[in-house]
Structure 1
Amino acid sequence: MVPIMADNDCRATLIEVATPLFAEKGFNGVSVREIAGLAGVNVSMISYYFGGKEGLYGAVLNEQFAVLQRVAKIAHTATDPLKKFELYVRDTVARYRRNPYLLRFYAGELTNPTPCFATIVKPAIQEVVKTLQEFFTDGLSHHQFREGLEPTDTALALAGMINFYFLLEPATGELVDHSPERDEELIRHIMDIFANGVLK
């Protein structure tokens, strides 16, 4: 069947419609008929553009996790390890503001992995951890972080601190202000809490 709307428009619409559905219901909780119905296209378009539901889900994950590539670019925008640390914190907070479904995909794939975990999610996460390892190893070599600091554990602790803050937002809304207007204060607090444990 020949697509009615332009190729790029139809493909983009399917990804746009499928993203919140997959994020909220998981891969197994969404049907191709539901996606096609909300996108206003024939269900055969999912096979036409993506080869099926798994291909569409993979395209959604690729788009979501592509934002993590920005972390590696931080290494080329600053030379001071402490500045890289700050840029990572800022970029991560901004990332979750721009991509509200990303953490849902994180949590879903970590707790109930699909075949896309090994090919898309795991490599993306590993690249972030490796980049953070390099930041902290660099800081150790410049004597900016205390001796004995283990770069991998430190990288995971930093990433976990920020991720968990946003992941718990639905459960802690009555306890803390999660509004974007508070982001600068949040960034300062994260840096203070974390850096004071690693600075000499």
Structure 2
Amino acid sequence: MNFIKDVTADELGPRQKIMEAATVLFAHEGLHGTSTRDIARESGLNLSLISYYFGGKEGLYKTVIQEFVQNIFLQIDKVVNDFEQEEVCEKSLRRAIVSLVNAIIDMRAANPLMAKIMTREKLSGMPFSREIHESMMISSGEKIEMIILKGQKAGIVNKNINPRFFIVCLVEGILGYFNMLDCNCSWNDGLYEMPEQRQQFIDQISMIFLEGIFK
């Protein structure tokens, strides 16, 4: 189901303002801790516009998630499409995984509020985003999985590697790292700072996840 209402160019301004205000509130207060009045006050717009554009608070929440997931989908599509233009070899597979690592880092660094929303949603069992997850995120995961499977078929990647397990560990490992940095605890001493030590982090995560999969 598509939760995004078609809007004209003139409507994009207020619609976007509502979404931006809602993202801040959903990230800090959660869906149930945020009211439509809170969103209207934060955005400076009329309460009725929330129903007009999104059909209510839950529709707005789902739209915020869906538009974020769509952007992730586009980034993964680019990584996969670039990989498919090349001959399947260790070099092209390494390049694809490093590109994926960069895309995940960019997404997380640019969207800290959405990361909070998505983390809370996952920990709650995805009560509001399961349909979006099933229709889009799984498709994205399968596309990444295909890269590993092609590497295995070509005899480059160890056949004992579980592609889906590899992907989950890679993605959640990066997202969990950012969550750890957000905690600002003493354990963080010695970890790579973002964005100052971004390249060192990429090199380290790439080495950890790539060296063990090749034959």
Q: Could you state the TM-score of these two structures normalised by the residue count of structure 1? A: 0.89
State which of 52, 59, 66 in structure 1 corresponds to 2:63. 59
Instruction: Report if the CA contact (8 A) 1:81-1:138 is conserved.
Output: no
After TM superposition, the structure 1 = structure 2 runs for residues 1-200 of structure 1, keeping only pairs within 5 Å, are 6-69=10-73, 70-78=75-83, 79=86, 80-113=92-125, 115-172=127-184, 174=186, 175=188, 176-200=191-215
**Counterpart in 1 of 2:4?**
none
Report the Cα distance in structure 1 between the residues aligned to 2:70 and 2:170, rounded to whole angstroms: 20
Please give the per-residue CA displacement for 1:64-120, whole angstroms capped at 9, x wherever unaligned: 212211112211112322221111011111111121223212211112246532222
Root mean square deviation of aligned Cα: 1.8
Secondary structure, in 3 states, of the residue corresponding to 1:116?
A: coil
Percentage identity across paired residues of the two chains:
26
C-alpha contact 2:18 2:43 (8 A) present in aligned 1: yes
User: Do the aligned partners of 2:192 and 2:201 also contact (CA within 8 Å) in 1?
Assistant: no
1:18 & 1:113 partners in 2: Cα distance?
A: 21
Unaligned stretches of 5+ residues in structure 2: 1-9, 87-91
What's the secondary structure of 1:28's corresponding residue? Answer: coil
Aligned partners of 1:97, 1:50: CA distance in 2, in Å? 27
Count, aligned residues: 195
Q: After the TM superposition, which of the residue ranges 113-122 and 163-172 deviates more from structure 2?
A: 113-122
CA distance in 1, matches of 2:29, 2:125: 14
Q: Find the counterpart in structure 1 of residue 3 from structure 2.
A: none
TM-score normalised over the length of structure 2 = 0.83
Report the Cα distance in structure 2 between the residues aligned to 1:62 and 1:109, rounded to whole angstroms. Answer: 13
Report the Cα offset of residue 195 of structure 1.
1.1
